[in-house]
Each structure stands twice: as C-alpha cells, then as structure tokens.
Amino acid sequence: MNEIGTATTDAPEAIVIGANSGIARALCKRWDSSSQIYRVHAVSRVPTEGAQAGSVSEHARSDRLLEYQCDQSEDAITEVIASIFSSEKNIARIVIALGTLHGDDY
C-alpha cells in the first residue's frame, strides 16, 4: 500500500488538480515527457482543448496524460476519483494548483 491507501504498481503516477493554470499546465507537460512519471491525471474545472464539457469527462491528450474536466460538486469529484483509481496506482505526486479561493463562500 502507498501513502494514499491504494495498492501500488512500480510505475509512478501524478495527479494535478487545477491543471488549467499556467504553472500546472507546464508541470503536466514536463511530466508527460519525463521518464520519472509514468502517467499524469490532470483535473480541471474548465475543459481543456479536446476535453468534452460536462460534469465529468476524461480525455487522453497522450498515452501518458489523461485530462478530467470536473465541476466542484461532490458527485463530480467522487466520479473523477473513482475513474482515476479504477485500477491499481502508484500515486507518487499530488499537486493542488487551485490558486486563491475568495469570496463569501470560502
């Protein structure tokens, strides 16, 4: 078991939340071309080019970069997590690049 609590495989993977920001996109691109990370799961509220709009959608930009469009609802978040962890993973990195949350609701 790894620290996330799932069974591990040898290939390290990463999850990037808020993947549509400039820094997160650059990190996804770097890991997509790196031998250090086998696969990147990029999660964003706003669909990236090629991803389908909807509460949850998955789009493979490459064999190693999977993009998930997800709104902020509990159901959508649960669905994305279930999709990412539908098989054994060795999650080696988690990056949260959401920026500043502000307003009356935060």
pLDDT 10s per residue in the chain (106 long)?
Answer: 444 444 345 789 999 999 888 889 899 989 988 888 999 999 988 766 655 444 455 556 677 888 888 887 899 889 999 989 888 889 999 999 887 666 676 5
Residue 23: closest CA among 100, 90, 99: 99
What is the pLDDT at residue 70?
85
For 76, other C-beta atoms within 10 Å of its C-beta total 17
